[in-house]
Amino acid sequence: MSKLSLSDELTTARLLAEGIKNRADSVAKVGLTADKAAEIEALVSKLTTLDNQQEELKAQLKEKTAELDGVQQTLRSTVAETRKLVKIAVDKAGWVAFGISDKQ
């Protein structure tokens, strides 16, 4: 069996619940009742809610990742520029105090 997308799985489950309700007389003999349809519908509803929440979190994560990347790039540029200035102002022997281990 191929793996269904979430959307397809939800659609299949909704159709199944509808079928149980619409053909109750046919499926009652195997124990499928409106309760089973309601259970499926409740699971579909919960899964839809969770999926929406997950999508919101993914969007927030994407935004935070972009923000983090921007700040990290700013830090890199600032550190590189500051290192150059320290190298100009301080002789090589003093660079270690600034965390600079370069030889030049």
The tens digit of pLDDT for each residue in 37-76 reads: 999 999 999 999 999 999 999 999 999 999 999 999 999 9
> Any idea of the CA torsion for 61, 62, 66, 72, to the nearest 10 degrees?
40
Q: How confident is the model at residue 21 (pLDDT cuts 50, 70, 90)?
A: very high
Three-state secondary structure of 49-65: HHHHHHHHHHHHHHHHH
Tell me, what's the pLDDT at 102? Answer: 82
CA distances from residue 100 to 71, 72, 93, 103 in whole angstroms, order as listed: 22, 19, 10, 9
pLDDT, mean over the chain = 95
pTM for the model = 0.72
